[in-house]
Amino acid sequence: MSNFNITDDSATVDRLSQQRDDIYDWCVERFRYHMANDNIDEALALADEFFEWMDPDNMEKEETAFFNEDELLNLYLSLPENYG
Host domain of residue 33: 9-78
Please state the rounded mean pLDDT for residues 53-60: 77
Please state the rounded mean pLDDT for residues 55-83: 80
In a domain, 3, yes or no: no
In a domain, 24, yes or no: yes
Query: Is residue 57 predicted with pLDDT exceeding 90?
Result: no
Band (pLDDT 50/70/90 cuts) for residue 84 is low
In a domain, 41, yes or no: yes
Q: What is the pLDDT at residue 32?
A: 95
Q: What is the pLDDT at residue 45?
A: 95
In a domain, 47, yes or no: yes
In a domain, 34, yes or no: yes
Which pLDDT tens digit goes with each residue over 4-31?
554 557 877 788 888 888 988 999 999 9
Judge contact between 55 and 27, C-beta under 8 A. Answer: no
Please state the rounded mean pLDDT for residues 52-74: 78
